[in-house]
Amino acid sequence: MKVEVGDVLYEPGQTVRHVYFPLDCLLSLLAVAEGRMTLEVGSVGREGMIGAPVVLGHELAQVRAVVQRAGRAVRIDAGEFRLVYARMEPLQRLLHRYTDTLLAQAIQIAVCSRFHVLEARLARSLLITRDRLQSDKFHLTHEFLAHALGVRRVGVTKAASALQNQKLISYSRGNIEILDAAGLEAVSCRCYELVKDEGLIGISNVFV
């Protein structure tokens, strides 16, 4: 199926009726407070999936899943996926590892959001996006970054300007290009090393 930027696949508290395997799109997982305040606690590209908790008996979504980059995804009925999961032991092991990794990432991002400066957090977010998309060029609006980082748009503008002044990125009308990945990693907090996708498994490659 085709998904477009801004499409909401899940809202917190909604019944999970499908699981999704991104092929070339990127999905953002947002924790939501009081219905309006958000913080990105993970992102999912071709390396992963969303909806895995349904096999553990969790039928309600815990986060908002929003399309960050348009593209294609495979959608499978949650009930059918549970049946496949029950009879495929390799898939069971894979999903246990994947969900454990996502939880570790969410915890680290929460710690990062509490203790690290916005410029470092923005650098970490841009590097993670680059890793998921496997591209130094992508599109992210100030509004989306503000929602993802849990800050006001003016904060994103100042942090992005600081990175651009250091010639680490080029940023114009939401079009971002990472010019100096090594320099951006140096500015980023150590959380990037802890949450990047070295430990993630290409579930789409194995299952879809």
pLDDT tens sequence across 22-73: 999 999 999 998 777 899 998 899 888 999 889 888 899 999 999 999 999 9
Domains of the chain listed by start with CATH number: 2-113+198-207 (2.60.120.10), 117-188 (1.10.10.10)
Arithmetic mean of pLDDT, 114-128 = 93
DSSP 8-class letter at 15: B
Give the H/E segment covering residue 10: strand 8-10
pLDDT at 198: 47
Alpha-carbon distances of 186 from 50, 118, 123, rounded to whole Å: 31, 14, 9
Over residues 155-201, the pLDDT tens digits come to 999 999 999 999 999 999 889 999 999 999 999 988 888 777 544 55
β-strands 26-33, 169-172 pairing: unpaired
pLDDT of residue 197: 52
